[in-house]
Each structure stands twice: as structure tokens, then as C-alpha cells.
């Protein structure tokens, strides 16, 4: 792992991605220490103040400090989407390995179901599920994990089919080994690289999806500090007080760019081509 990190950091894109990702994670973890004000603290005498030494990123329509809300907003977005990315990678990865190893009609019929899911307008289904189950993390995390896990399954299954055709897997089957030992001992170690890169890539997409849900009113609820919700609340003042929209957008975009650059660098360090893998 240390050698992988060194390899990634040696690449310009990897170094930038690593710095951006660690910066946002660090800011989110240290938000209670770094925030000069409470993220929900209102001040009627400080409404829509421009950036200054007292409020580095200005204040919003309720007199809340934008900087405090931005770094606290990262805590929710990062924690929710990271948990969902782990779920998507685990279930989608192991399902993809299973179907790619088994093959035959089981794989064929399963892939038709997967193709059907991928062709659906998933955002509408996502909104429907959240509107029924509620807009809390308990509903959002497994929902995002399921929908994005389907895409992980599709990619990993294609890679698993290539690994399943190799001699060491054929030899394991000839020795009479059962399916589970073949998956855990032969398949998974040779596909862990793809799972790592896919998990990072899906995490960046989930960040955008979660912020979109918050923007539409289906993610975080007021007065919770969240980047998408901040943009939704302040977008009407974009021409007069743009700092309320600019800073959360900058935070979200820089984190997504950082994770994508990091995922690309990890993939190259491991000898993977994300474009080729996604086309499988």
C-alpha cells in the first residue's frame, strides 16, 4: 500500500488528486476546531455580508457564516457518499465476480436484468424511494449504494470473465475446488485493483448525486449545512451576493476533481485503463 501511495504521489495528477482529497477530508474532520462560528448560528446584524476578516467567505441570507457551513457541509457529503460507495463496491463487486465466474445461463439472465436497471431513469426511481422512505442518511446511503452498485457489477463482471478464463482458475476447477474458495482465493485477489478504482470513481459520482438530491430538497434538510442545499437556498441572490453559491460549488467541484484525478492515478499505477474497463 505504501508503494502504491508513493507511485500515485509521483504522478502530477495523482499528487493533485491526493492533496485535494486529503484536504477536504481533513477539513471535514477538523470542522469543529476550524469553524469560527456554529454552522447554524444566525446573526440578524450580519446578513449578506461580503467576505471580510470577520467572515472569510461572507454570510448568507440568515446571517450564517458561509465558511463554517462549507466545511461542515463537507462532513455530511463525504460521510454519506463514502458509506454508500463502500456498499456499492462490496455488493456490486462480489456479485460481478460471482456471475463472471459462474458464466452460462445464470450470468446471461442476470446481465439482462442488470441491463434493464441501467436503462432505467435511475434519478426518478431514486427520488421516488427517498420520498417514500425519507430524506435521511438511513434511506439515502443504501439507495445510492444499490443503484451505483449495479454499474460496479457490470464492470467487474466483464473483468471477472477474463480472469476466469486463465489457467490458474481452470486448474482450481480441475482440482475440484468449490465456487466460494475459487472466488475468494483465485478471483478476488486478481480483481481487487479494479474494485479499488471503481469504488473511488463511484464515490465521486455519488457526491454529485447527493448534492443534486439536496438541491432538489430530497437530501439534507434545513438548517443542516450541505453544499447542495446551500446552493439551492442562495441561488436567488447570485447576482448580488454570489459568495453564498460560489464557495459551496467550488468545494464540491474541487473534491470531485480530486477524487477523479486520484482514481485515474491509482488505476495507472495498478496498470488499469478506466476507459477500457468501463467499456467492457
CATH number where 141 lies: 1.10.3720.10
CA distance 130 to 1: 37
**CA of 122: how far to CAs of 115, 143, 144, 146, 222, in Å?**
12, 11, 10, 11, 25
Sign, CA dihedral 109-139-195-148, equals positive
Residue 213, C-alpha cell as written in the block: 438530491
| pLDDT tens digits along 66-110 | 999 999 998 989 999 999 999 999 999 999 999 999 888 888 898
Give the largest CA-CA distance in the chain.
77
Quote the number of domains for the chain. Answer: 1
Strands (DSSP E) contained in the chain are none
| pLDDT tens digits along 199-243 | 999 999 999 999 988 898 888 888 889 999 999 999 989 889 999
Domain that holds residue 159: 2-278
Burial (Cβ within 10 Å: 0-12, 13-18, ≥19) of residue 94? buried
Residue 92 pairs in a beta bridge with: none
pTM: predicted TM-score of the whole model, two decimal places: 0.88
Amino acid at each position: 500500500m505504501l508503494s502504491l501511495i508513493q507511485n500515485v504521489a509521483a504522478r502530477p495528477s495523482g499528487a493533485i488528486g491526493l492533496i485535494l482529497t486529503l484536504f477536504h477530508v481533513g477539513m471535514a474532520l477538523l470542522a469543529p476546531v476550524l469553524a469560527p462560528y456554529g454552522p447554524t448560528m444566525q446573526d440578524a446584524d450580519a446578513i449578506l455580508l461580503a467576505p471580510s476578516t470577520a467572515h472569510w467567505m461572507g454570510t448568507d441570507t440568515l446571517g450564517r457564516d458561509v465558511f463554517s457551513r462549507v466545511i461542515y457541509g463537507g462532513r455530511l457529503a463525504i460521510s454519506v457518499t463514502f458509506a454508500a460507495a463502500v456498499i456499492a463496491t462490496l455488493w456490486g463487486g462480489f456479485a460481478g465476480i460471482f456471475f463472471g465466474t459462474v458464466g452460462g445461463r445464470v450470468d446471461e439472465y442476470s446481465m439482462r436484468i442488470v441491463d434493464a436497471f441501467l436503462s432505467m431513469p435511475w434519478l426518478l426511481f431514486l427520488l421516488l424511494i427517498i420520498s417514500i422512505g425519507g430524506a435521511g442518511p438511513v434511506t439515502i446511503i443504501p439507495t445510492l449504494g444499490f443503484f451505483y452498485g449495479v454499474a460496479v457489477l457490470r464492470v467487474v463482471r466483464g473483468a471477472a470473465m477474463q480472469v476466469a478464463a486463465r489457467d490458474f482458475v481452470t486448474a482450481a476447477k480441475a482440482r475440484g475446488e468449490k465456487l466460494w474458495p475459487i472466488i475468494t482465493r483465485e478471483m478476488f485477489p486478481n480483481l481487487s485493483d479494479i474494485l479499488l478504482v471503481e469504488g473511488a470513481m463511484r464515490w465521486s459520482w455519488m457526491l454529485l448525486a447527493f448534492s443534486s438530491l439536496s438541491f432538489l430538497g430530497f437530501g439534507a434538510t434545513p438548517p443542516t449545512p450541505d453544499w447542495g442545499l446551500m446552493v439551492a437556498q442562495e441561488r436567488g441572490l447570485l447576482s448580488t451576493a454570489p459568495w453564498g453559491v460560489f464557495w459551496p460549488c467550488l468545494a464540491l467541484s474541487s473534491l470531485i476533481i480530486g477524487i477523479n484525478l486520484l482514481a485515474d492515478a491509482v488505476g495507472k499505477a495498478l496498470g488499469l485503463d478506466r476507459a477500457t474497463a468501463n467499456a467492457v
